[in-house]
Chains A and B, each alone.
Chain A
């Protein structure tokens, strides 16, 4: 059957559910029976409910913080979570899932759990929630005081989603596009949209029982020079797909670009456009919040420099009124951080959100122009997607990626055209150098071209792929706009 943006029926859902529970032995746990899971979720106090805490944050105009973190074994994972709560002052906790689980390689994860026990260090880059099952996941839930979310990158997260929600975790990150194109090589969008409709429908079914859970499309995509209009369009489409399945509490995301004005413009439009288009397409009762991810590209290796970049991220997120920040650590360029380093990134971020609590970025003509351009581009991409899908967003996404109407820079997926190239302008705004098949009109294209030509002129070199490469390395080298031919003037 052709996939459409249409709510799955209960019969379809529960039929599929039987099969999914058989994918790994932990799926047979009787606490996964729907009524039992409902009872457990109803007992979760508001202070540990992700959706409710986000409402609280937005009502009180707060910017909250959340790290990424996860290790192989349950007890060590709990120790890590407790540490980040206590010493990092995390408002929300994650459980970052390991990469074998993300690719549904549960037997690989099982081996790695054994290895980790033997070697007494985590051999996995995250928490293998499916292997630990409800036993392990619920134990984690019971041992923390703030809401928990699964953060991953899993194209097929159906069993994972079942297990985490039935363990009391009240948010799930991901989506059919954002957990495919940056995270897979040759899984079709048709499949991943179907898988994520299932995860969203699960949340929708809980909503019908009076349980509010949060869903968060993954905003930053490849984290590498992604123009805001592209990530916004995908976030909005994933919000629409989730809303159709009955999700009522959605956090849309964005990865910090580096130019402060562009970042604030992006955060403000992410909120306004998501609300606007959800209503336009008939989803009136969705509560929307935003999350900004601190710099998602290559980090400087010097820890002081890394911390400075982390603080800049917290600054723009707060000035731009994001509801939540995903923080980084000073170990980012090297490897999974120690719990101490992770907590340092959190505390540095928390300080900024507190100091800047009552300050907002002032509106001026530059900000306005930036916002207008994002709005115009998003509108173009969104309607081009809808049109090629003959009025259906699920079909639209599949066709749009096939024809390069939607295109994500540096993505590993073969479903992606990979024809567009971004580069920064003189002020560090992310612009588009090669448009591939993006359906932009001449005015938009001219705007990007002019900006990049101005950079070329100032740097005395032609506009080319060389700029893109320089920009990919730039931040890790402590600058924003890269120029490998540039010699620092000396006195």
Chain B
């Protein structure tokens, strides 16, 4: 059973997707540590350290994702979490933008996988299991 940290980053209060991700990942047997909305990078990192998590799933719906996720990977490495997988999903930038470009920007920032708006979390479960099995 893998431990994963989930939450919504920054000043974002979109709670519905977070509650559903929590429910679905538990159904799939994950040990889910949900830090909820309005969570900072440090909140994610501390939770991952405390629970020895294998992955962090960042949600960002409200558009400030690019600002809120800046240097997150660097901060994780500094905290000794370079082995922890880092995912992001939701409506992670402001406005309707070409997703391949957005994906590239976030991959450059160190995210392992980047999901477009409206991704059904069921579809991401397979990716996560695969990545963690390899790790």
A307 to chain B, nearest CB (A): 14
Give the residue of B11, B13, B23, B93 whose beta carbon is less than 8 angstroms from that of A100: B11
Q: Which B residue sits closest to A224, measured CB to CB?
A: B16
Please encode chain A, from 148 to 189, with 1 for each CB lying within 8 Å of some chain B CB and 0 for all others: 000001000000000000000000000000000011110000
B115 to chain A, nearest CB (A): 13
Please encode chain B, from 2 to 41, with 1 for each CB lying within 8 Å of some chain A CB and 0 for all others: 0000000011110110011001000000000000111000
* A284-342, CB < 8 A from B: 298, 301, 331, 333-338, 341
A261 to chain B, nearest CB (A): 25
Residues of A within 8 A of B19 (CB): 410
At the interface with chain A, which of B58-66, B80-88, B125-133? B58-66
The count of chain A contact residues (Cβ–Cβ below 8 Å) is 39
Q: With A99-B12, A224-B16, A412-B38 as given contacts, are A335 and B94 in contact (CB-CB < 8 Å)?
A: yes
Q: With A333-B117, A334-B96 as given contacts, are A125 and B62 in contact (CB-CB < 8 Å)?
A: yes
Question: Is the contact region of chain A dominated by helix, strand, or loop, or is it mixed?
Answer: loop
Q: Are A99 and B15 in contact (CB under 8 A)?
A: no
The count of chain B contact residues (Cβ–Cβ below 8 Å) is 26
Residues of B within 8 A of A301 (CB): 117-118
Bound state CA distance, A208 and B37, in angstroms?
A: 41
Residues of B within 8 A of A472 (CB): 16, 20
Bound state CA distance, A373 and B4, in angstroms?
A: 44
Q: Is A430 an interface residue (CB 8 A)?
A: no
Give the residue of B16, B62, B66, B118 whose beta carbon is less than 8 angstroms from that of A410: B16
Q: Is A105 an interface residue (CB 8 A)?
A: yes
Q: Are A338 and B11 in contact (CB under 8 A)?
A: no
Q: Which B residue sits closest to A336, measured CB to CB?
A: B95
Q: Are A331 and B96 in contact (CB under 8 A)?
A: yes
Residues of B within 8 A of A108 (CB): 11, 67
Q: Are B118 and A333 in contact (CB under 8 A)?
A: yes
Residues of A within 8 A of B93 (CB): 335
Q: With A301-B118, A412-B36, A412-B37 as given contacts, are A185 and B63 in contact (CB-CB < 8 Å)?
A: no
B72 to chain A, nearest CB (A): 16
Q: Is B100 an interface residue (CB 8 A)?
A: no
Bound state CA distance, A341 and B10, in angstroms?
A: 27
Bound state CA distance, A338 and B91, in angstroms?
A: 15
Bound state CA distance, A121 and B95, in angstroms?
A: 10
Q: Is A122 an interface residue (CB 8 A)?
A: yes
A415 to chain B, nearest CB (A): 13
Q: Max chain B CB contacts within 10 Å: which of A99, A184, A476?
A: A99
B58 to chain A, nearest CB (A): 16
Give the residue of B13, B20, B62 whose beta carbon is less than 8 angstroms from that of A469: B20
Give the residue of B12, B67, B117 whose beta carbon is less than 8 angstroms from that of A112: B67
Residues of B within 8 A of A429 (CB): none
Please encode chain B, from 66 to 79, with 1 for each CB lying within 8 Å of some chain A CB and 0 for all others: 11000000000000
Bound state CA distance, A123 and B118, in angstroms?
A: 21
Residues of B within 8 A of A336 (CB): 63, 94-95
Q: Is A222 an interface residue (CB 8 A)?
A: yes
B7 to chain A, nearest CB (A): 11
Q: Are A123 and B67 in contact (CB under 8 A)?
A: yes
Q: Which A residue sits closest to B14, measured CB to CB?
A: A412
Q: Max chain A CB contacts within 10 Å: which of B16, B36, B93, B117?
A: B16
Residues of B within 8 A of A331 (CB): 95-96
Q: Are B16 and A335 in contact (CB under 8 A)?
A: no
Residues of B within 8 A of A100 (CB): 11, 64
Bound state CA distance, A472 and B121, in angstroms?
A: 13
Q: Are A121 and B11 in contact (CB under 8 A)?
A: no
Q: Which 8 A-B pairs rank lowest in CB-CB distance, beginning with the nearest?
A: A412-B15, A125-B63, A334-B96, A335-B95, A412-B37, A103-B11, A99-B11, A185-B38
Can you list 5 contacts pairing A with B, beta carbon distance less than 8 Å? A105-B11, A108-B67, A121-B94, A338-B95, A469-B20
Given contacts A111-B67, A331-B95, A335-B117, 10 further A-B contacts (CB under 8 A): A99-B62, A100-B64, A102-B11, A103-B11, A108-B67, A183-B13, A298-B118, A301-B117, A334-B91, A412-B37
